[in-house]
């Protein structure tokens, strides 16, 4: 029976090639768009879930209020992790990661500036899931000046040579011994490090007692990402409830002095990728995009389904006599429904094959557009295969349901007499409604596209308070190079194509340095936390900023080099 249905479906499609082409094309594009969005959404919502203990891992964060200024940070003070392990029995382990910064590393004649190397505690493998190729997870980072490389970084520096025991040197002359190699992290990990350096190296550099000091002052200087692993069955809320006593013990003395307070924040590891509103945050996603893209995927499939239903019912007159003849020779309505559903499912199967071909061809371009590294191996996962097949089956059933029930309802005598047009009027209202729905969805999506385009145009063209055109920012990574910054600046100014040069600790919009200062207000000095940047005399001119009131730094004013400050309009209001 099924064989006959399929044969009949193939014959019908071959007799109506243009109709079949249009339907298959619409379904193919709809399914391809759905699959692309499915891959994107799945990649986003599975961030960091490769970690076997991700349900027990939390990132602890900072929430400071200093003289009514409220700042939230993804980083915390250096001693916060050890203090949590000491004070809270709920904490099984902690790990700290500190960005090395854009630093020069060299091995023999190979030199690279790396910006994704991190100092890490030796127990990182106890918290996160790391796949060690070489070395011991427990011992690799215990000694000072040791490092663990990812497979890609090891290949970059050593090629096919075994890197274990080799030394990699920094631009400042410190040498790190390679004690481990791990597999590259999955692309959907919010931590994207290429190498891990032992935290004990920092202890050696600044002094073990100083680095690990739990003096109150050290809890008001932030700088490291810290993650805690809770014991099984432990709840983070229990830690939150106990935190006031922790604050009293470790932070209150300094907080009272500077008129400040601190609230403890945390984010489950699996939700860290979607954390918002935090300074010093690692690149993140946006949960709103997930909802939007999921809705778009649904509407695209809905449009493709409605399009199929409309075209099928619009051709009802062409198939009316076929239905009448089948019923005359003994076909039951159930058989006709199955026949038309078979045709619908056959079209969807062909469309799915074409959609998969489109996805395989365009996946590299999709990765480039979305910033993902989704591989073809994802299509071998049962969850993806099952979901795609289920959606395709659902589209086939839904899109073929109304045409099947409608066409199979024709009365033989009516259609054989040629009065099918009257019978076809029954479908007019539904088809008109479906067309209205199609246009409504299309108009909403077009409006959404225009709004997003306008927002992007605004971001590109809005006045930022400085002139970004023809402005080049060069990071001076090496300490030796930084010591010659003035000479380098003078050399650049010899080039007639360069109008102005400035040295500074940051560009507008970056938060590199927040410091509590005492500010004169009315009759008192009040503590305030301000975002600072140190600059030379030519910063305002080079950035194309406007002096609203007062003057720029002046080389002829002897105190300007150390005792003068320029603030912006928001600073004045504050």
User: Using 50, 70 and 90 to split pLDDT, how confident is the model at 512?
Assistant: low
Give the lowest-confidence range in 9-13, 62-66, 397-401.
9-13
Report whether pLDDT(270) > 60: yes
Phi, psi of 346 (to 5 degrees): -60, -45
Rounded CA-CA distance 39/369 in Å is 13
Confidence at 386, pLDDT banded by 50, 70, 90: confident
DSSP string, 442-464: HHHHHHHHHHHHHHHHHHHHS--
pLDDT confidence of 326, banded at 50, 70, 90?
A: low
- More confidently predicted of 184 and 423: 184
Contacts made by residues 503-511, CB under 8 angstroms, sequence distance 24+: 503/535, 503/536, 504/533, 504/534, 504/535, 504/536, 504/539, 505/532, 505/533, 505/534, 505/535, 506/533, 507/473, 508/464, 508/465, 508/466, 508/543, 509/464, 511/279, 511/280
Question: With contact defined as beta carbons under 8 Å apart, do 34 and 392 qualify?
Answer: no
Confidence bin at 55 (pLDDT 50/70/90): very high
Is the per-residue pLDDT at 423 higher than 50?
no
For the chain, the C-alpha Rg in angstroms (whole number) is 33
pLDDT value of residue 1 = 54
Q: Average pLDDT, stretch 447-474?
A: 87
Give Dmax over CA atoms of the chain in angstroms: 108
CA 409 to chain centroid, in Å, comes to 51
Residue 84 has pLDDT above 90, yes or no: yes
Q: Give the single-character DSSP code of 287.
A: H
Using the predicted structure, report yes or no on whether residue 238 has a pLDDT greater than 90. Answer: yes
d(CA 170, CA 465): 38
Q: What does the pLDDT look like over 198-232, one tens digit per residue? A: 999 988 888 877 788 888 888 988 889 999 999 99
Higher local confidence (pLDDT), 13 or 389: 389
pLDDT at 469: 87
Side-chain half-sphere of 453: how many Cα atoms within 13 Å?
6
Q: Shortest CA distance to 263 belongs to which of 239, 284, 231?
A: 239
pLDDT at residue 5, as a whole number: 53
Top mean-pLDDT range of 391-400, 470-479, 531-540: 531-540
Q: Which region among 240-249, 357-366, 393-402, 496-505 has the lowest average model confidence (pLDDT)?
A: 393-402
pLDDT for the residue 388: 87
Q: Where are the alpha helices (DSSP H) in 271-427?
A: 287-314, 316-328, 333-370, 382-407, 412-416, 420-424
Please list, in sequence order, all residues whose beta carbon lies within 8 angstroms of the beta carbon of residue 245, skipping any fewer than 6 positions away: none
**pLDDT (mean) for 71-93:** 93
Residue 428 pLDDT > 70, yes or no?
A: no
Residue 230, classed as helix, strand or coil, is: strand
With a cut of 80, say whether residue 417 has pLDDT above it: no
Is residue 522 over pLDDT 80?
no
Question: Bigger pLDDT: 411 or 527?
Answer: 527
CA-wise closest residue to 407 among 308, 313, 530? 313
Across the range 450-479, mean pLDDT stands at 84
Name every residue whose Cβ is closer than 8 Å to that of residue 481 and which is 6 or more positions away in sequence: 488
How sure is the predictor about 64, in pLDDT bands with cuts at 50, 70 and 90? confident
Higher-pLDDT residue of 132, 333: 132
Q: In this predicted structure, which of 120-129, 291-300, 376-385 has the lowest mean pLDDT?
A: 376-385
Residue 186 exposed, middle or buried by CB count within 10 Å (0-12, 13-18, 19+): middle
How do residues 336-364 score in pLDDT, each as one tens digit? 677 777 777 888 888 999 999 999 999 99
Burial 264-291 (b: 16+ CB within 10 A, else e): bbebebbebbbbeebebbbeebeeeebe
Residues 282, 73: Cα–Cα separation, whole Å: 11
CA 455 to each of CA 295, 296, 428, 442: distance values in angstroms, whole numbers, following the listed order:
20, 19, 41, 20
* pLDDT given at position 308: 79
**221-224-226 Cα angle (round to 5):** 120
CB 169 within 8 A of CB 106: yes
* pLDDT score for 363: 92
Confidence of residue 301 (pLDDT cuts 50, 70, 90): confident
Mean pLDDT of 554-570: 89
Does the pLDDT of residue 424 top 60, yes or no?
no
pLDDT per residue as tens digits for the range 357-385? 999 999 999 999 888 888 887 777 888 88
Return the top range by mean pLDDT from 380-389, 502-511, 545-554. 545-554
Mean pLDDT of 521-529: 77
Quote the CA–CA distance of 473 and 540 in Å, as a whole number.
15
Q: Quick one: pLDDT at residue 449? A: 87
Interval 273-295: pLDDT, tens: 998 888 888 888 888 889 988 99
Rounded to whole angstroms, the Cα distance separating 570 from 574 reads 6
Distance of alpha carbon 317 from alpha carbon 81, whole angstroms: 75
Q: Span 473-494, mean pLDDT? A: 83
């Amino acid at each position: 029976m099924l064989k006959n249905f399929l044969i009949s479906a193939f014959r019908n499609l071959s007799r109506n090639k243009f109709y079949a082409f249009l339907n298959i094309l619409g379904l193919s594009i709809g399914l391809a768009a759905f699959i692309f969005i499915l891959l994107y959404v799945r990649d986003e919502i599975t961030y960091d879930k490769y970690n076997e203990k991700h349900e027990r891992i939390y990132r602890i964060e900072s929430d400071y209020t200093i003289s009514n200024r409220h700042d939230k940070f993804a980083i915390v003070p250096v001693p916060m992790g050890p203090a949590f392990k000491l004070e809270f029995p709920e904490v099984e382990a902690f790990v700290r990661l500190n960005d090395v910064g854009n630093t020069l590393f060299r091995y023999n004649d190979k030199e690279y500036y790396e910006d994704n190397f991190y100092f890490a505690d030796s127990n990182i493998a106890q918290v996160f899931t790391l796949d060690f190729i070489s070395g011991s997870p427990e011992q690799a980072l215990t000694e000072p000046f040791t490092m663990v490389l990812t497979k890609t970084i090891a290949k970059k520096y050593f090629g096919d040579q075994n890197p274990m025991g080799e030394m990699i040197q920094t631009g400042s002359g410190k040498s790190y011994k390679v004690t481990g190699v791990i597999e590259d992290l999955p692309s959907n990990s919010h931590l994207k490090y290429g190498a891990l350096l032992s935290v004990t190296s920092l202890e050696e550099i600044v002094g073990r007692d100083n680095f690990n000091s739990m003096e109150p002052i050290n809890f008001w200087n932030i700088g490291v990402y810290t993650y805690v692993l809770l014991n099984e069955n432990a709840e983070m809320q229990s830690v939150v409830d106990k935190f006031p006593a922790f604050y009293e013990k470790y932070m209150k003395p300094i907080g009272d002095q500077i008129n400040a307070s601190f609230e403890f924040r945390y984010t489950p590891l699996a939700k860290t990728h979607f954390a918002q509103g935090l300074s010093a945050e690692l690149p993140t996603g946006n949960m709103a995009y997930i909802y939007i893209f999921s809705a778009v995927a649904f509407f695209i499939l809905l449009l493709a389904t409605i399009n199929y239903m409309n075209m099928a019912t619009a051709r009802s007159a062409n198939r009316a006599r076929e239905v009448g003849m089948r019923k005359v020779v003994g076909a039951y309505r159930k058989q006709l429904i199955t026949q038309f559903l078979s045709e619908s499912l056959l079209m969807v199967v062909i469309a799915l094959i074409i959609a998969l071909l489109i996805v395989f061809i365009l996946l590299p371009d999709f990765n480039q557009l979305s910033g993902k590294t989704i591989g073809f191996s994802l299509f071998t996962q049962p969850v993806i295969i099952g979901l795609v097949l289920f959606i395709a089956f659902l589209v086939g059933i839904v899109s073929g349901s109304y045409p099947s029930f409608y066409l199979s309802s024709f009365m033989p005598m009516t259609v054989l007499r040629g009065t099918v047009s009257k019978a076809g009027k029954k479908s007019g209202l539904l088809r008109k409604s479906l067309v209205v729905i199609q246009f409504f969805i299309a108009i909403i999506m077009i409006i959404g596209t225009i709004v997003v385009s306008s927002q992007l145009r605004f971001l590109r063209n809005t006045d930022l308070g400085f002139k970004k055109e023809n402005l080049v920012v060069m990071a001076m990574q090496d300490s030796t190079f930084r010591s010659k910054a003035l000479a380098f600046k003078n050399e650049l100014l010899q080039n007639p194509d360069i109008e102005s040069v400035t040295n500074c600790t940051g560009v507008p919009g970056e938060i590199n340095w927040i410091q509590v200062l005492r500010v004169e207000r009315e009759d008192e000095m009040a503590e305030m936390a301000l975002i600072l940047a140190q600059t030379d005399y030519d910063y305002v001119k080079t950035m194309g900023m406007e002096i609203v009131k007062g003057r720029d730094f002046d080389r002829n004013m002897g105190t300007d080099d150390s005792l003068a400050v320029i603030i912006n309009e928001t600073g004045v209001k504050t």
